[in-house]
Amino acid sequence: MHRLTRDFVSEERRSFPYKLGEVVASALTGFVVGVIAASMVWLLAIHYINAFILE
């Protein structure tokens, strides 16, 4: 189980007073990166639809 959680939670170099602070910081970073990546995929999909399908 610990190995599975390491795939979704990054190792933070900063020290936090509580373990929950470390998990929240890691999860927030992953969420922001996910939003950016998903936005790029949607923008490419919209561009493809406008350029090739709706000519």
Contact 21, 30 (CB under 8 A): no
Higher-confidence position of 2 and 50: 50
Say what the pLDDT of residue 37 is.
92
52 pLDDT above the threshold of 70: yes
Quick: pLDDT tens for 6-27. 666 666 676 767 677 767 777 7
5 pLDDT above the threshold of 80: no
Q: What angle do CA 37, 42, 45 make, to 5 degrees?
A: 130
Side-chain half-sphere CA neighbours of 40 within 13 A: 5
In one-letter notation, the amino acid at residue 44 is: L
Say what the pLDDT of residue 48 is.
92
How much is the average pLDDT of 35-54? 92
pTM for the model: 0.56
* Tally of CB atoms within 10 A around 20: 9
